[in-house]
Amino acid sequence: MKLDAELVREVERLVSEGYFPTKTEAFTQALRMLIRQYKAEELKRRLNRVREGTESLPSASAAVVALHEEEDA
């Protein structure tokens, strides 16, 4: 598979302007960012599934506050 010529030109421009030392480094950084983004999205999905399963439970923060209030009373 070949990369789009416009994409390659943009990367070459970034290299020539000093943003990256080489095209390889630019593409490596781009792939790392893409992978981090996908991992972050997956983590958000997992957290949302956990939240959905615990919405009916009491708030942990409220329970801690209540315990502190009982200790102060």
Per-residue pLDDT averaged across 6-19, rounded?
97
Answer whether residue 71 shows pLDDT above 80.
no
Long-range contacts of 57-61 (CB under 8 A, 24+ apart): none
Answer whether residue 57 shows pLDDT above 80.
no
Output the pLDDT for position 42: 97
Per-residue pLDDT averaged across 30-45, rounded?
97
Which residue range is the domain that position 21 belongs to? 5-72
Q: Which residues contact 23 (CB under 8 A, 6 or more apart)?
A: 8, 11, 12, 15
Q: 20 — phi, psi (to 5°)?
A: -140, 150
State the pLDDT confidence band at 7, using cuts at 50, 70 and 90: very high
Q: How many domains does the chain have?
A: 1
Output the pLDDT for position 50: 86
Output the pLDDT for position 15: 98
Tokens found for residue 42: 């997956």
Q: HSE on the CB side for 45, CA within 13 Å?
A: 6
